[in-house]
Amino acid sequence: MYSIKITEPAEQDLNATVDYYITVLKAQKAANTLLDEIEEKLSFLSMNPLVYEIENDDYLHERNIRSVLVKNHLIFYIVNQDDQQVTVLRILYARRNWLRILRSNN
């Protein structure tokens, strides 16, 4: 079983998303559902981190960045097989220009 490490940017992404759901959309239940589904997906990744392919984009591929879709959000992560750790880099809304965001942070 792999450990899960959530980076500060990913934590900020998640907090901002939950805040948006609650304050702007007034959708507490949807925020809770999203959090539950993200938690379930991270649990799945701890047991099966290599199940999702490395991204096709050259920049992301060079960095071994993988992604998984949860509702309308993408979890971007890398796998360190030596340390048996999954590092969550970002959790981004799928319709954002996530490639630009990821490139600007690495």
CATH number, position 79: 3.30.2310.20
**pLDDT digits 0-9 by tens, 44-67:** 999 999 999 999 999 999 999 999
Q: To 10 degrees, what angle do helices 28-47 and 8-19 make?
A: 150
Pairwise CA distance, residues 54 & 64, whole Å? 6
Pairwise CA distance, residues 74 & 90, whole Å? 8
pTM for this model (two decimals): 0.93
How many separate domains does the chain show? Answer: 1
Q: How far is CA 62 from CA 2, 14, 79, in A?
A: 22, 25, 13
11 has pLDDT over 70: yes
Identity at 95, one-letter amino acid code: R
SS3 95: coil
pLDDT at position 106:
55
- Which residue range(s) make up the domain with 79? 3-105
Question: Tokens 């507490």 belong to which residue?
Answer: 28
- Give, for 5, the enclosing helix (H) or strand (E): strand 3-6
Average pLDDT score over the chain: 95
